[in-house]
Amino acid sequence: MVARVVPVDPFDLVVFGATGDLARRKLIPALYHRMHDGQAPEGARIVGAARADLDADGYRRMADAALTEFVAPADLDAASREIFLKAIDYVPVDIGGDDGWTALGEALPEHGSSRPRAFYLSLAPRFFGPAAARVKSEGLAGAEGRIVVEKPFGHDLGSARALNAALAGAFDEHHVYRIDHYLGKETVQNLMALRFANALFEPLWNNHHIDHVQITVAESVGVEGRGPYYDGVGAMRDMVQNHLLQLLCLIAMEPPAHFEPDAVRDEKVKVLRALAPLSSAENVVRGQYAGAGASASYAEDAQSPDSRTESYIALKAEVANWRWSGVPFYLRTGKRLRGRMSEIAVAFKPAPHSIFPGGGKVGQNVLAIRLQPDEGITLGMTIKDPGPGGLRLAPAVLDMTFAEAMRGAPSLRMPDAYERLVMDVIRGDQTLFMRGDECEAAWSWVDPIIAAWEERGDRPAAYDPGSSGPDDALMLLHRDGRRWREIAP
Ligand code: NAP
């Protein structure tokens, strides 16, 4: 059980791509959990749509198998399962053809009513525009219907603009929900609570007190079966343009006047537009994992022996505004690294003067916001080393790990990001979704960086699998007198 759920109104949710990996691994389990916890009401209707020639019972069997595979046994009970499966319907639909659209309309009676209705495009990106247009032209959405779009949102600024234009042709921006599942994580929202619901940090949240910020998204796995797809993309487009820049925005944004979708997104866009152009090659390090023993190299995984795609990137960004001038934001993300870790670390400037000669080193306070594993927030402090041995200083960590905070309520489960995001769509709350201009602003910063390395013909540096990335990435911080935080195995 999750505490304090606020039920949403009965809704219709059409999942296009209902037989695909994302739907089975994330969306079906997320919807089950919300119903199990009493947030999604029994009157909700979930309509799967894909080309596969299934009837409703056939799709229910597929959904049931997905629950068995992707929901923890402790959270599966027969009664909730039955109620959930009853809410599911399925219609074979071909996005590119005429098959199924009339039947889909018939599976969705009551349009025009005030019942929330959403269309989740869990489809390859080339279908986003055509699916939105068809939903509109078939009159399925009504005046208030919402469309949910998965990542990737474009490949560059031009394609993102074209996609925004295609969506705008069918749906008002206030009905478009661009998913970045990082924004649905509990800790990310806690970051906003930490910053804007506590008076403690705001006076320190600027270049007078913050030395630098590190944002790390490290994965221990390689590109696995996605190699050929990933090879045309790379870490900059796959991770930095969306997830890492979104995290940077939440750290760097000004306090919005209200916690209201456009007020929050206005502030995030300002951060993206304040990013200084990154023209210098020395502030961007690209890497590609090598092979070792039985562990395949990136080029082998991608089936592209001469690939120049980066599986790792580290860069030093600058938010060129009054608050952040002179504070580097170091971003890094990569595959087949030493461990799996997503973290934002805000490193404060050291105390200006130590009054403890010989008593120990005065450390740097670091506020670390961990997204995975073990979502939580820690604050690194310097304290007196306990005991009678005189006043010596020692590092200590104030730990706000949520699992600890929830110790008194062992039945509490940390909801997956998709659970929160799907419920926000139904509630009509766009706060945690990217607005079209945000996506374009992010691409506007990223495109010239990619263009510069393509023009130079740069090759990514090889790095050992299980390492922390290429040596040049270490130098990116060393030459500023700083170090990356450790990626734990
Ligand atoms: P997938 O496994 O390839 O599934 C694609 C779905 O689209 C299938 O249900 C397929 O069913 C359906 N489909 C294909 N052509 C169609 C057509 N012409 N008309 C109607 N349905 C059609 O892809 P996925 O991994 O679930 O990814 C879906 C989207 O989510 C993509 O945009 C992806 O980038 C994004 N995403 C996925 C993940 C993930 O973890 N998987 C994570 C982040 C983002 P039929 O073949 O039966 O039609």
Q: Is the domain of 245 the same as that of 146?
A: no
Q: Is the domain of 470 the same as that of 372?
A: yes
Q: Is the domain of 138 the same as that of 208?
A: no
> In the prediction, which pLDDT does 256 show?
96
What is d(CA 486, CA 291) in angstroms, rounded to the nearest whole number?
22
**Whether the predicted pLDDT of 389 surpasses 80:** no
From residue 373, alpha-carbon distances to 185, 245, 366, 370, 402 in Å are 12, 20, 18, 7, 11
What is d(CA 339, CA 105) in angstroms, rounded to the nearest whole number?
47
Residue range of the domain that includes 59? 12-150
> In the prediction, which pLDDT does 404 show?
60
CA of residue 399 to ligand 1 center, whole Å? 39
Compute the CA torsion angle 252, 258, 264, 270 (nearest 10 deg). -60
Residue 280 has which token pair?
């210098």
Q: What is the pTM of this model?
A: 0.95
Q: Is the domain of 324 the same as that of 212?
A: yes
Provide the CATH number for the domain around residue 41: 3.40.50.720
Domain count, the chain: 2
DSSP assigned state of 287: E
What is d(CA 24, CA 48) in angstroms, rounded to the nearest whole number?
11
Ligand 1 probe mutation, 14, 26, 51, most atoms within 8 A of CB: 51
Q: Which of 130, 150, 170 is the last residue of a domain?
A: 150
> In the prediction, which pLDDT does 352 show?
84
Q: Which residues lie below 8 Å from residue 22, measured CB to CB, with a gap of 6+? A: 122, 150
Q: Is the domain of 405 the same as that of 456?
A: yes
Instruction: Identify the residues whose C-beta falls under 6 Å from ligand 1.
Output: 16-23, 50-52, 93-96, 122-125, 150-152
Judged by phi (left if over 0) then psi (alpha if -120 to 50, else beta), residue 244 lies in alpha
**What is the average pLDDT value for the chain, to the nearest integer?**
92
Q: Is the domain of 397 the same as that of 269?
A: yes
Q: Is the domain of 367 the same as that of 242?
A: yes
Query: Does 61 fall in a domain?
Result: yes
> In the prediction, which pLDDT does 394 show?
84
pLDDT tens digit sequence for 156-195: 999 999 999 999 999 999 999 999 999 999 888 889 999 9
Q: Is the domain of 28 the same as that of 84?
A: yes
Q: Are 416 and 33 in contact (CB under 8 A)?
A: yes
DSSP assigned state of 292: B
**Residue 478: active-site member:** no
Q: Is the domain of 145 the same as that of 220?
A: no
Query: Does 430 fall in a domain?
Result: no
What three-state secondary structure class fits 333? strand
Q: Is the domain of 97 the same as that of 194?
A: no
Query: Does 159 fall in a domain?
Result: no
Query: What average pLDDT score do residues 355-381 get?
Result: 84
Query: Does 375 fall in a domain?
Result: yes
* Atom nearest to 125 CA in ligand 1: 32
Local confidence band at 279 (pLDDT 50, 70, 90 cut-offs): confident
What is d(CA 185, CA 415) in angstroms, rounded to the nearest whole number?
8
> In the prediction, which pLDDT does 183 show?
93
Q: Is the domain of 140 the same as that of 189?
A: no
From residue 247, alpha-carbon distances to 244, 262, 396 in Å are 5, 17, 26
CA of residue 225 to ligand 1 center, whole Å? 15
